[in-house]
Structure 1
């Protein structure tokens, strides 16, 4: 049994041995005040309990992500995060220990805090809904709300309605429902994933995330008594569902949760023994790093993925495409151009393996979308607008939210090129899709456009766009 086993006494802590030990003791004090075992907290925040135990003992440094998860799950109101920040800044033990760590005292709320896992909402996304708010001076800013707060404001019926809008095939599943239905659980999970992906593109991530997380939980239950080929297939499915969950949170702009699910996907892909799947997850991590504007990670992870991929595979071209944007984030226009030429060459010479399901959406237009995004980063706004327009015209039917993203990016590029009225017209088209899908990628682009067009507010088309934005965002109280 682990440190958290029944009848075992927790190891004595030495909070005054070092700042690291002090933080660990404080984290345990908050946990014990909430009367939560390591195991229960581990399930709620989805970190390894052995790692958590080492951190609490002071034997291993805490990551920022772990401290944030503790703080949020235990209702510490930022005190653990601030303590961790002080340690990173080099604060002495004496400066940290103004209070007694073993007795958190009045700053610890008395009321019990429900963990995210107990409500069916995964902890990494608790902080992750950013909503646009119009300020008194006319700007639009994003305010972070917890999912629990938002659901509380909307009412439980909204959450139920979000899931009930999905087709029956995509409703949340459990091990018992899968095994009792008579259908092959693995085939059912594969079909459900396809339905969820289709509904995500039509209706946005808010409705789909709860169902995806339920499928992941069902897969983990099924793995308990499966062996051999079935277990490998379940691990592959867990990888695919985790990657999908990462993508949904990425579209919402909740990058911490997206990183969490991509780490989950990478770990499951290694366990599944499928190198092609691992390569795909690495490529997706490069794309996520690009959205997070982390050029080093975007380039390095893409290169690792391309090195793993077959030189003539579609995955090699996918990785090269995502990595090229990292060079634009470095403001290296020459290297960006060379990187996109390389991606085009890989795409033109690739062997279109029909047996591989990874990156099937990659075509010349998709590469052009990313090149246009890079041109915008580099300041070539007219070139970016033309690139987005070409991609929109070539986009297959059914890619509803993606069309909205490209329209929003085209509108921003047009605005920054000085084409205010045209930018407003395209922005209105994107806004309609953004309202339908709840895509944070669309709303963030349109927030940029709203600010860029403020100096043209008297232009008729621009005023129409800003009036529509006013209706779409929350009014500042």
Structure 2
């Protein structure tokens, strides 16, 4: 006998209402979660949480439901209305809100093809405080997001990137005599600098533009030039994956890392392929997938040249996978292995991959793993050390470490200190729009609920209220 579906509560919130509508459409078409999941290539557990209202569905998931179930845009319009802040009573007045399917009786128009397009940069996951005090994440338009995050993010996103960030066109470059490969390399450096200062919202559209330009330039290039373009396409695709990872849009990050891996194979650069595999392990760690994090890291370490920096990078990310498995002994052993590789590696100044890896970087990753293992005070000390050692200019990374230190302190019961540091992290989060910072602070916000009468905690919670969208 199959498991009875959970009872839905569509009138609890707009997100719960959307989830109930999604399930109603699926049931009307006679599809199980597993069957639909295989069709639209989403994880069925994530789909179930979205239908229950336990997790806000992304714009991509809603669009996939709408297409596959023949909803003719009904689900997409409902999702857009929620993003615009339409109240629950108005949402329900336009739909059948009683028991039974809330869908039209038109025949199912199932889509046989899966959506292989890159997720849109217009849909961004942002925090929303619900009526019961929780913070959930909802996909909103870029315009709405900037309104929520405040002037700092808006200025950063609205200001023009330097002219070098404009995508080169073959005709323009031909007439100017510019070297497109050097132009693209310079552009990537500029975009990386802008990302670290202002966060991913401002940079993603420009990075995607560069990838499109590279694909256009490849059409009439051969030999060494074509290989260099493929290498640059790999680098820009990996960078785009990182930007989406920072936003917390893991499906988009996976898409761009797959693009990067494919381009790296075409470029014939084994070192670049190894680096992309190591990055996939890092992403799996952020997605809390221990098996993928460990297995991909081991594959990357096996491919890496013995004694290389990339071997140490892969080992570091694999160590966090062990922490996600809650195996403390294996975790500490894995970090010791990573430290040994880092201490004995060939610096290889010719290689540009993983140049940021040093003992301090390994220690901050270890601190994150200690948080997972419940070693909160030790983790907080690790983050504090990492912050003091961070080079100038790493604005967004400082905010991430501050947020993680605050979470560790909150878990350790140091509420006042956690709130003080959380406020510092929130300031950086507003500047950069980093999803990593926001998600850590949403966790801190929940952890500090029992200390809400402490003045500093009250100040932190008030600041969080001002920085997130209130649910209508």
Q: TM-score, normalised by structure 1?
A: 0.75
1:258 aligns with 2:228: no
> 2:166 is matched with which residue: 162, 171, 186?
171
Q: 1:64 aligns with which of 16, 41, 65?
A: 41
User: Secondary structure of the equivalent of 1:195?
Assistant: helix
CA–CA distance in 1 between the matches of 2:230 and 2:279?
18
Q: Distance in 1 between matches of 2:439 and 2:200?
A: 15
Cα separation, 1, equivalents of 2:383 and 2:390: 10
Higher normalized contact order (CA 8 Å, seq sep 6+, divided by chain length): 2
Encode CA deviations 1:154-175: one digit per residue, 9 max, x unaligned: 9xxx999836431221234433
* Alpha carbons of structure 1 residues 341 and 327: separation in structure 2 relative to 1, 3 Å: same
**Partner SS for 2:136:** strand
Q: Give TM-score, length-normalised by structure 2.
A: 0.75
Q: What's the offset of the Cα at 1:177?
A: 3.4
Taking the aligned partners of 1:66 and 1:464, their CA distance within structure 2 comes to 38
Q: Structure 1 residues 79, 222: closer, same or farther in 2, change over 3 A? A: same
Rounded Cα–Cα distance in structure 2 between residues aligned with 1:74 and 1:292: 21
- Counterpart residue number, 1:401: 396
- Aligned position for 2:227: 232
1:183 is paired with a residue whose SS is coil
Unaligned runs of 5+ in 1: 1-22, 27-60, 82-97, 109-115
State the Cα deviation string for residues 220-264 of structure 1 (Å, max 9, x = none): 000000000000000000000000000000000000000000000
Q: Any residues of structure 2 matched to 1:41-56 within 5 Å, and which?
A: none
Asked if structure 2 preserves the Cα contact closer than 8 Å seen for 1:384 and 1:410, the reply is yes
How far apart, CA to CA, are the structure 2 residues paired with 1:71 and 1:283? 27
Alignment of 1:418-437 (within 5 A): 418-437=413-432
The one of 189, 197, 213 equivalent to 1:218 is 213
Question: For residues 255 and 236 of structure 2, what CA distance do their matches in structure 1 show?
Answer: 13
SS at structure 1 position matched to 2:66: coil
Per-residue Cα deviation, 1:122-147 (whole angstroms, up to 9, x for no partner): 74136841111122222222112355
* Alignment RMSD (CA, Å): 3.1
Q: Which structure 2 residue ranges, 5 or more long, are not aligned?
A: 1-25, 30-37, 45-57, 72-104
1:88-107 Cα deviation digits (max 9, x unpaired): xxxxxxxxxx9755xx4xx9
Contact 1:174 1:215 in 2 (8 A): no
Counterpart of 1:204 (choices 199, 222, 246) is 199
Count of paired positions: 385
Q: Is the 8 A contact 2:310 2:353 kept in 1?
A: yes
- Residues 321, 340 of structure 1: 8 Å contact kept: yes
Indicate yes or no: 2:271 matched with 1:294: no
Contact in 2 for aligned 1:133/1:142 (Cα 8 Å): yes
Give the Cα separation in 1 of the matches to 2:142 and 2:257. Answer: 20
Q: 2:66 aligns with which of 45, 53, 76?
A: 76
Matches within 5 A, 1:237-386: 237-386=232-381
Which whole-Å CA distance do the structure 1 matches of 2:372 and 2:209 have between them? 38
How many Å separate the matches in 2 of 1:159 and 1:444?
Answer: 19
The equivalent of 1:3 in structure 2 is none
Q: After superposition, give the CA deviation of every residue in 1:360-407 in whole Å (9 maximum; x if it has no partner).
A: 000111001110000000000001100101111111111110100000
1:152-163 superposed matches below 5 A: 162=157
The alignment partner of 1:76 has SS state of helix
CA pair 387-355 structure 1, distance change in 2 beyond 3 A: same
Secondary structure of 1:142 counterpart? strand
Alignment of structure 1 residues 21-32 onto 2, 5 Å:
none
Q: 1:461 aligns with which of 456, 462, 471?
A: 456
**For 1:414-447, what per-residue CA distance to the aligned partner results, in whole angstroms no more than 9, with x for missing partners?**
0110111110111011000000100010000000
Matches of 2:461 and 2:419, distance apart in 1: 8
Structure 1 residue 74, shift from structure 2 partner: 7.7
* 1:321-369 deviation digits (Å, cap 9, x = unpaired): 0000000000000000000000000000000000000000001110011
Please identify, of 143-152 and 378-387, the stretch whose mean Cα deviation from structure 2 is larger.
143-152
Distance 1:179 1:252, change over 3 A: farther
